[in-house]
A and B are shown apart, each in its own frame.
Chain A
Amino acid sequence: MFEYQSKKLLKQAGIPIPEGMVVSSPEEASEAARKLARSVVLKAQVWATGRAEKGGIKFTDSPEEAAAAARDMFGLKIKNLSVEKILVEEKIDIESEYFAGLVIDDAAKSPVMIFSSMGGTGIEEAAGEHPDKVVRASVDVLKGFREFEARDLIRRTGISGGTLTRLSRTLAKFYAISREYDARSAEMNPLVLSKQGQVYAADCHFVVDDYAVFRHPDLGIEVAREFDRPPTELEKIAYLVERNDHRGTFYFFQMLDEVSKKENAIGFNGAGGGGSMMSMDAVLDRGFKLANYCDTSGNPSASKVYRAAKIILSQPNIKGYFASGSGVASQEQFHSARGLTKAFGEEKIAIPAVLRLGGNFEEKAIEILHTYLKDIPGKVEGYGRDDAPEFCAERMKKLITENQFLPHKVRPVTEPEIKERAYSFKTVTGEIHIDHEKCGRCAAKGCVEACSPGILKLEKDMPVLAISREEAEKGKCTECLACEIFCTYHEQDAIFIRLPIPGLKEYREKVIKEQKKESRERE
């Protein structure tokens, strides 16, 4: 959350904050300064620390000065982030600065309130040098952090009198609001005492627990991920996929701002935190960069892995696709194999892929990959639990070299035409269309047999649902993709499973435009 958003919460809790407003243009900044009618401070709203040194904080004495300062600030890039909003606040005459923070102690399994009689920038170093000025108290979550506890805590730094009571009251409220909004960590730094004896939270920062964002729709958090920067467009698309499908985990973030044609970067698809990190180490050790980090685990549906692959393949110029997890996964690996098969088949990727899908049913998973992906332009190799990640990373390197470092070209999102007469039904996150006219030419009717939940049957020799449409839509159809893959590769290509990814079509159009522009420029 931005500073101004965090401050809104403090205000809600009754903690005094400097009077101020958020602006998005120099004109608004001068208007704000006029309204406040005193000296003001302009603070750039960016997700980065150390903004003061980069010119992200300025004090001004008149509306004209405020407009000029805002003009400079809107042009700034702080840690690669452009300034889009500025907080204009009354300037406070500061008597003293303090620090207050709430963190979670994983050893004690409880929140810890930290208070320091020194605040402001460089508090970490200062705290190291003056341990006597930093005090901590473990909080009993069943009781909360009460004012008398705050008093006993702050007292230990030598603060007394009215300041002690005012700070204690603030600290107790600070705990309550942090807890109410499920903050994973929160800090007020500096917490200041003005020359007039008032306590203000001059700056504050809340990090809301990703897992609890659902409890706080009023915060309007778009992407519940603990990033140190705003999410990219592709990350937002990925987050929607995760939010709309609770089967398994899909976590995606980009590690490079941009992949150039020359960069030796790959698309990464890990499975499970530990296995992913180990696999990452193996590829990084071989001189690769990772365009993205991605984790598809916790027994995801084939459709979720399909969407993950489509998103990874929306990154231009990657040189290969590397999937690897722990190697001994409890999840049924053929789901991942089918998801990858559908995605790679549609994309007809020309870059090589090394897919280490060790674990339950790995033999079946590898067989699916090798059977159905042998004819796409890029080479696909599947591996299992007895193939170490180091070996697989070595294979990736070899294949990319053999492929002469061909960069991945992003293709537009296309769909086959769906005939009006097609037999169609909805699934949890998509729809299935079967062209019965083509089915008439099919000898095998293998789709019914391939269907893992067994929800298809033959009626007048045509595949139809053996259950009600409602049941299929509610999840009896697990979107295992087996029927489509069978039909596409063994028979008439009569089945199409539509799995929409909101926003991806438009995103790719933009990427393709860029691709074209780049190649024109080179000519």
Chain B
Amino acid sequence: MSILVNERSKVLVQGITGREGMVRTRLMKDYGTNVRAGVTPGKGGQEIYGVPVFDSVKQAREECGDFDISVVFVPAFLVKDAALEAFDAGVKLAVLIPDRVPINDVLELARVSKQEGARFVGPNTLGLVSPGKAVLGMIGGRAESAREWFRSGSIGVSSRSGGMTSAISYYLTQAGLGQSTIIHVGGDAVVGLSHPEVLLLFEEDPDTEVMVMFGEIGTTQEERVADLVSGGRLRKPVVAYIGGKAAKSGTRFSHAGAIVEGSRGSHESKVELLKKAGVHVADVLSDIPKRAGQLLKERGRKR
């Protein structure tokens, strides 16, 4: 199994005729993702790599049936409308690739998706991949690389950095450790599915044995993961790495933010809380596959 996406998930691509939309549709199709249709308003009637293009999501649904997932490649200022259109047509998971989406738009999407019982990944995400099954977005860049870099297995990977999502997974593959699902939660301050939510999904996934989290300074995502581990809601072992040790702190936080967060958000706070909760925090990247491998073995013995 895997989380969020598998080879059967019916996928729609919004903004399919744009520069990134076209190239990544090819990646998804070549990898085996079940891409059913695409949408670009005003460009209906075309075909992109054999995928029919429609003028609206509703029209695509009328012609092709329901979609489970929509991958959104439209320009940043149109992302909100595109995602709302997808939710309106019953899509339960939107993957928002573009960066520079206004934060107020993301807040509105968070509010509406909750109401609709839908979820979204991103914005500012490379996407996600369940190795051997399906890829969403642009992770891997092209199918040959995605096949070479990622292998199916039992480690769940969640990362706030796009490049590091691929890097960690590649180093796990090199160490002979496959992945259940790899997900880039997105680099922005507010994202749809954040680390704690993704890790809870991995906790429920019978095929995930160990979780790897690449965190960064800023936001409260890693602290909330620490809380979940301490509270017993995450029982599977977690290996974490927190980037940004040397980054100048304080520049990102205004006064008002400091009142709400207190000391949360800094590198030290994250590492300390995670360690206290019993999470394995790696100092250098190469420790991640080592620790994950050991933990996997230990879990195997316990069974």
Chain A hits for B59, CB < 8 A: none
25 A-B Cβ contacts within 8 A?
A101-B255, A103-B254, A103-B257, A105-B260, A107-B194, A109-B106, A110-B107, A114-B260, A134-B259, A141-B104, A182-B104, A184-B103, A184-B189, A210-B100, A272-B163, A273-B161, A277-B243, A277-B246, A280-B247, A281-B244, A328-B149, A328-B167, A330-B138, A385-B167, A388-B285
A-contact bits for B219-248, CB 8 A (1 contact / 0 none):
111001000000000000000000111111
Chain A hits for B19, CB < 8 A: 247, 475
Query: Given A214-B77, A273-B161, A359-B141: A49 and B255 within 8 A (CB)?
Result: yes
Cβ distance A298 to chain B, nearest Cβ, rounded Å: 7
Cβ distance B129 to chain A, nearest Cβ, rounded Å: 11
Which of A84-92, A156-164, A185-193, A431-439 forms contacts with chain B? A185-193
Chain A residue nearest to B217 (CB atoms) is A277
Chain A positions 310-360 with a Cβ under 8 Å from a chain B Cβ: 325-332, 358-360
When the two chains form their complex, are residues A330 and B126 in contact, meaning their CB atoms are under 8 A apart?
yes
Chain B positions 139-176 with a Cβ under 8 Å from a chain A Cβ: 139-142, 145, 149, 159-164, 166-167, 169-170
When the two chains form their complex, are residues B252 and A226 in contact, meaning their CB atoms are under 8 A apart?
yes
When the two chains form their complex, are residues A272 and B141 in contact, meaning their CB atoms are under 8 A apart?
no
When the two chains form their complex, are residues B224 and A114 in contact, meaning their CB atoms are under 8 A apart?
no
Q: How far is the CA of A133 from the CA of B110 in the complex (A)?
A: 30
Chain A hits for B246, CB < 8 A: 277, 280-281, 284-285
Contact of A215 among B75, B102, B248 (CB under 8 A): B102
B187 within 8 A of A: yes
A102 within 8 A of B: yes
Chain A hits for B139, CB < 8 A: 330
Contact of B247 among A104, A134, A189, A277 (CB under 8 A): A277
When the two chains form their complex, are residues B243 and A205 in contact, meaning their CB atoms are under 8 A apart?
no
Contact of B103 among A211, A249, A360 (CB under 8 A): A211
A-contact bits for B233-277, CB 8 A (1 contact / 0 none):
000000000011111101110111111101000000000000000
When the two chains form their complex, are residues B166 and A328 in contact, meaning their CB atoms are under 8 A apart?
yes
Q: How far is the CA of A390 from the CA of B285 in the complex (A)?
A: 10
Q: How far is the CA of A189 from the CA of B256 in the complex (A)?
A: 10
A459 within 8 A of B: no
Chain B positions 44-100 with a Cβ under 8 Å from a chain A Cβ: 75-77, 99-100
Q: How far is the CA of A186 from the CA of B260 in the complex (A)?
A: 13
Q: Which 6 A-B pairs have the closest CB atoms?
A: A274-B161, A326-B163, A272-B163, A101-B256, A330-B141, A109-B110
Query: Given A105-B260, A110-B110, A215-B102: A297 and B255 within 8 A (CB)?
Result: no
B292 within 8 A of A: no
A127 within 8 A of B: yes
Chain B hits for A214, CB < 8 A: 77
- A104-B190, A141-B108, A332-B141 known; 14 other A-B pairs, CB under 8 Å? A106-B190, A114-B259, A142-B111, A179-B104, A207-B254, A211-B102, A214-B77, A249-B99, A273-B162, A274-B243, A327-B167, A327-B170, A330-B126, A330-B141
Q: How many residues of B contact A (CB 8 A)?
A: 65
Chain A CB within 10 Å, residue with most, of B214, B224, B246: B246
Q: How far is the CA of A332 from the CA of B23 in the complex (A)?
A: 12
A209 within 8 A of B: yes
When the two chains form their complex, are residues B142 and A360 in contact, meaning their CB atoms are under 8 A apart?
yes
Cβ distance A231 to chain B, nearest Cβ, rounded Å: 14
Query: Given A110-B110, A205-B254: A211 and B141 within 8 A (CB)?
Result: no
Q: How many interface contacts (CB-CB < 8 Å) are there between A and B?
A: 184
Cβ distance A511 to chain B, nearest Cβ, rounded Å: 25
Q: How far is the CA of A227 from the CA of B187 in the complex (A)?
A: 18
Cβ distance A391 to chain B, nearest Cβ, rounded Å: 11
When the two chains form their complex, are residues B111 and A110 in contact, meaning their CB atoms are under 8 A apart?
yes
Q: How far is the CA of A211 from the CA of B124 in the complex (A)?
A: 12
Cβ distance B265 to chain A, nearest Cβ, rounded Å: 9
Chain B hits for A101, CB < 8 A: 255-256, 259
Chain B hits for A382, CB < 8 A: none
Query: Given A187-B255, A247-B19, A327-B167: A106 and B220 within 8 A (CB)?
Result: yes
Q: How far is the CA of A280 from the CA of B245 in the complex (A)?
A: 9
B-contact bits for A196-237, CB 8 A (1 contact / 0 none):
000000000101011110110000000000111000000000
A271 within 8 A of B: yes
Q: How far is the CA of A377 from the CA of B196 in the complex (A)?
A: 50
When the two chains form their complex, are residues B103 and A326 in contact, meaning their CB atoms are under 8 A apart?
no
B37 within 8 A of A: no
B-contact bits for A101-126, CB 8 A (1 contact / 0 none):
11111110111101000000001100
When the two chains form their complex, are residues A330 and B257 in contact, meaning their CB atoms are under 8 A apart?
no
Chain B residue nearest to A126 (CB atoms) is B259
Contact of A187 among B76, B106, B254, B262 (CB under 8 A): B254
**Which A residues have a C-beta under 8 Å from some C-beta of B?**
49, 101-107, 109-112, 114, 123-124, 127-128, 134, 136, 140-142, 179, 182, 184-187, 189, 205, 207, 209-212, 214-215, 226-228, 246-247, 249, 255, 271-275, 277-278, 280-281, 284-285, 297-299, 325-332, 358-360, 385, 388, 390, 475
When the two chains form their complex, are residues A104 and B255 in contact, meaning their CB atoms are under 8 A apart?
no
B101 within 8 A of A: yes
Contact of A274 among B111, B216, B260 (CB under 8 A): B216
When the two chains form their complex, are residues B164 and A275 in contact, meaning their CB atoms are under 8 A apart?
yes
Chain A residue nearest to B159 (CB atoms) is A274
Cβ distance B212 to chain A, nearest Cβ, rounded Å: 13
Chain A hits for B140, CB < 8 A: 330
Q: How far is the CA of A442 from the CA of B167 in the complex (A)?
A: 43
When the two chains form their complex, are residues B102 and A103 in contact, meaning their CB atoms are under 8 A apart?
no
Chain B hits for A385, CB < 8 A: 167, 170
Query: Given A104-B190, A109-B190, A142-B111: A275 and B167 within 8 A (CB)?
Result: yes
Q: How far is the CA of A124 from the CA of B189 in the complex (A)?
A: 22
Q: How far is the CA of A298 from the CA of B19 in the complex (A)?
A: 12
Cβ distance B168 to chain A, nearest Cβ, rounded Å: 8
Q: How far is the CA of A277 from the CA of B224 in the complex (A)?
A: 22
When the two chains form their complex, are residues A106 and B166 in contact, meaning their CB atoms are under 8 A apart?
no
Q: How far is the CA of A271 from the CA of B161 in the complex (A)?
A: 11
When the two chains form their complex, are residues A106 and B219 in contact, meaning their CB atoms are under 8 A apart?
yes
Contact of B216 among A226, A273, A325, A326 (CB under 8 A): A273
When the two chains form their complex, are residues A124 and B255 in contact, meaning their CB atoms are under 8 A apart?
yes
B205 within 8 A of A: no
Chain B hits for A390, CB < 8 A: 284
Chain B hits for A330, CB < 8 A: 126, 138-141, 145, 162-163, 166
When the two chains form their complex, are residues A124 and B164 in contact, meaning their CB atoms are under 8 A apart?
no
When the two chains form their complex, are residues B285 and A107 in contact, meaning their CB atoms are under 8 A apart?
no
When the two chains form their complex, are residues A182 and B255 in contact, meaning their CB atoms are under 8 A apart?
no
Q: How far is the CA of A291 from the CA of B272 in the complex (A)?
A: 30
B20 within 8 A of A: yes
When the two chains form their complex, are residues A106 and B194 in contact, meaning their CB atoms are under 8 A apart?
yes
Chain A residue nearest to B215 (CB atoms) is A274
Q: How far is the CA of A101 from the CA of B260 in the complex (A)?
A: 10
When the two chains form their complex, are residues B166 and A388 in contact, meaning their CB atoms are under 8 A apart?
no
Cβ distance B101 to chain A, nearest Cβ, rounded Å: 6
